[in-house]
Structure 1
Amino acid sequence: MTDFDPIYSMVSAKAIKGLIESNYALAGLASCRLLQRGLNDVYLVSSTSGERYVFRLSHHRVRGPADVKSETDFLIHVSKLGVPVATPIPTIGCELFLQVHAPEGRREGVLFQAVDGREPHAGDVGDAHANGRTLALLHNAAETYIPNAPLYKLDLEHLLYRPLARIRSSGVIEDPSVLDELEQIAERTGAAIKLSANLSWTYCHGDCHGFNSKITEAGEAVFFDFDDGGPGYLAYDLAVFLWAQVSFGRETTRAWTSFLDGYRLIRPVTSDDFEAALRFVVVRHVWLMGEHASRIEEWGSNNVRWPLRRLSCSLQSTLRPASISRTPSAF
């Protein structure tokens, strides 16, 4: 008999339902179904009374284990200050997360109350405004939060240089000229950001691209999916939304303007952070390419090669934010 070293296992919805029933004080769970698999596996759980919950089982990633301790601690802090976020539900033992022993090793699970509301609409200025406002509330609340030994910092090493190294080592980009151009763009971008001495630092959502939220009937954006968050550049947190508006040939900069308007209703954006956000769009793109490159062992090189080529080809579109108005009125 040969022993194998698994890198990913799929936990059945039935097993997740039993896990929740054993570890949480929830009565009458009626169903559990897989919503999606990807960087995490996400399940929708429903009770007989109509309550809905979301259980997220963290995935093994090249960067290391999921930082659920910092994430859940931060969510409790900001929710107490009125920031609309999906909050974790404590276990019977009053823990905000639990550990699952899967064949590939330990995986962390968090149960959330499902967020009510509709999906945001791409390019919708009202939804963008709501997202900007909630992000500003989040950053305000982060000013009174003291991170408790977070595992990751959203700095250039984490967001740019290590992802770039993963792309290089993956071998998926076979054209040396394409790889050289990518590395040159990344190096220039990182060097320019380093020259900005007055960039703000905060606890970031980390993935505020506009769709990690639900829009309530009152028009409020409720945030979820904080597992890419951590202490980091405020400009990066802004840039993720801009990246979503200008990458892959999109040109929905009106939504970016509305997002900033919503943000500035709550707190100002310094000129240094605004300028850096334009550059962090490229950083975000390289980060995503690095995430794909790190999945070769699980997804296979053929499945990674196509999206990575698409990301590489779309890199020029991520440079367009440089043309966005820098007039004083924008601040």
Structure 2
Amino acid sequence: MLDFNPLYSTPQIAAIEQFIDQHYPLAGPVSCQMLQRGLNDVYLAVASNGERYVFRLSHRRARGPADVRTETAFLTHLAQSGIPVAAPVPTREGTLFAEGQAPEGVRQAVLFRAIEGRKPDAADAGDARANGKTLALLHNAAETFQPDGALYRLDLEHLLHRPLARICDSGVVEDAEVRNDLDAIAARTAQAIEAFANLTWTYCHGDCHGFNARINDAGEAVFFDFDDGGPGYLAYDLSVFLWAQISFGRKSTAMWDVFVDAYRAVRPITPDDFEAAHRFVIVRHIWLMGEYASRAQEWGREAVGWIAREANFLRRWETERCVDRLF
């Protein structure tokens, strides 16, 4: 019999419930429902006393395994510092994550307390303001966090060069001229970023696009989904919110202005970091393209075919918003 070698398996819900009951001191039995499947598997877990949690089973990605040790340490530091975040729940053994064996290998698991509140509205200035404030508070708290042994650094190698290689290696972009354009845009972007002498380094959320949060009754943005975080460029962490305003056909930067003003009310942004954020929009987009390109065998070429069309967006952003910032 042929032995298939799976890239990605999906556990039965009953197995997830058993795993949580085994590893976490919740009021059992726990009842679960899958919320999403993809970059990670995410489940709503409800204990028998009605308490709600979110269980995340990490997917092994092209970058390597999830850095749950550093991620959960940072989240605990933020929660202890009074920053509104979804804190990890300790296991019965006192660790902040667990591991389980899947057909494709070991997968890391984290249980979080569910966040109360509503989803942010892309056009709501109050929500943009809340996101900017929480990110600034996060960066303030990051100054007293030591990410000892972090698996990933959010530098240009991690965010730009390796994702670009994944795009090219995947075969998704068949047109040699488009690949050459992507190479040239990436090279100019890296050169422009490296020309800044004093970019701030911090511990990044890594995915602060405005929707990895819930707006609570106090109007605060409570952050979650730190899976792409790590020590890196503060300008990149800022840029993700701007990128979300202008990518995939969106063109308004009004909420970016509100977000930046709210951030600056808590913490200053250096001129270099602010200017570099516009360049990091390109880095962010290539990073996302690389993430999807690395999934071509798993999701299928049609699901990631949009990547071949994205050079147009990158060219336009570079021409309209970055040319004056090159030198």
TM range (shorter): over 0.9
Preserved contact between residue 246 and residue 320 of structure 1 (Cα < 8 Å): no
Distance 2:304 2:323 in 1: 32
Preserved contact between residue 178 and residue 308 of structure 2 (Cα < 8 Å): no
Alignment length (residue pairs): 325
Q: Does 1:110 align with 2:129?
A: no
Distance 1:33 1:181 in 2: 44
Considering only aligned residues, what root-mean-square deviation do their CA atoms show, in Å? 1.7
Counterpart of 1:38? 38
| TM-aligned CA deviation for residue 320 of structure 1 | 7.1
| TM-aligned CA deviation for residue 113 of structure 1 | 0.4
The one-letter code sitting in structure 2 at the alignment partner of 1:171 is: G
Counterpart of 2:53? 53
Q: Does 1:322 align with 2:312?
A: no
- Listed as ranges, the matches of 1:67-216 within 5 Å are 67-216=67-216
Counterpart of 2:280? 280
Distance 2:113 2:103 in 1: 28
Distance 2:183 2:189 in 1: 10
Preserved contact between residue 170 and residue 296 of structure 2 (Cα < 8 Å): yes
| TM-aligned CA deviation for residue 271 of structure 1 | 0.2
The one-letter code sitting in structure 2 at the alignment partner of 1:309 is: A
Preserved contact between residue 123 and residue 252 of structure 1 (Cα < 8 Å): no
Distance 1:296 1:316 in 2: 24
CA 1:324/1:119 → structure 2, altered by over 3 Å: closer, same or farther?
A: farther
Counterpart of 1:309? 308
Distance 1:323 1:261 in 2: 21
Superposed CA offset, 1:258-310 (max 9, x none): 101111111000000000001000000000000011001211223222x3135
Counterpart of 1:224? 224
In the TM superposition, structure 1's runs of 4+ consecutive aligned residues that sit over 4 Å from their partners are 323-326
Which 5+ residue runs of structure 1 have no aligned equivalent?
327-331
Preserved contact between residue 243 and residue 318 of structure 1 (Cα < 8 Å): no
Preserved contact between residue 139 and residue 202 of structure 1 (Cα < 8 Å): yes
Superposed CA offset, 1:214-252 (max 9, x none): 001111000000000000000000000000001122122
Distance 2:177 2:139 in 1: 40
Distance 1:24 1:16 in 2: 12
| TM-aligned CA deviation for residue 321 of structure 1 | 7.1
CA 1:156/1:119 → structure 2, altered by over 3 Å: closer, same or farther?
A: same
Distance 1:16 1:319 in 2: 45
Counterpart of 2:245? 245
Preserved contact between residue 84 and residue 134 of structure 1 (Cα < 8 Å): yes
The 3-state SS of whatever aligns with 1:100 is strand
Distance 1:97 1:30 in 2: 18
Distance 1:325 1:138 in 2: 31
> Alignment identity in percent?
61
Distance 1:229 1:165 in 2: 21
Counterpart of 1:329? none
CA 1:268/1:80 → structure 2, altered by over 3 Å: closer, same or farther?
A: same
| TM-aligned CA deviation for residue 317 of structure 1 | 5.0
The 3-state SS of whatever aligns with 1:153 is coil
CA 1:124/1:324 → structure 2, altered by over 3 Å: closer, same or farther?
A: farther
CA 1:56/1:85 → structure 2, altered by over 3 Å: closer, same or farther?
A: same
Preserved contact between residue 53 and residue 112 of structure 1 (Cα < 8 Å): yes
Preserved contact between residue 100 and residue 107 of structure 1 (Cα < 8 Å): yes
The 3-state SS of whatever aligns with 1:290 is helix
Preserved contact between residue 163 and residue 289 of structure 1 (Cα < 8 Å): yes
TM (normalized to structure 1)?
0.95
Preserved contact between residue 123 and residue 245 of structure 1 (Cα < 8 Å): no
Distance 2:234 2:54 in 1: 28
The 3-state SS of whatever aligns with 1:265 is helix
CA 1:85/1:104 → structure 2, altered by over 3 Å: closer, same or farther?
A: same
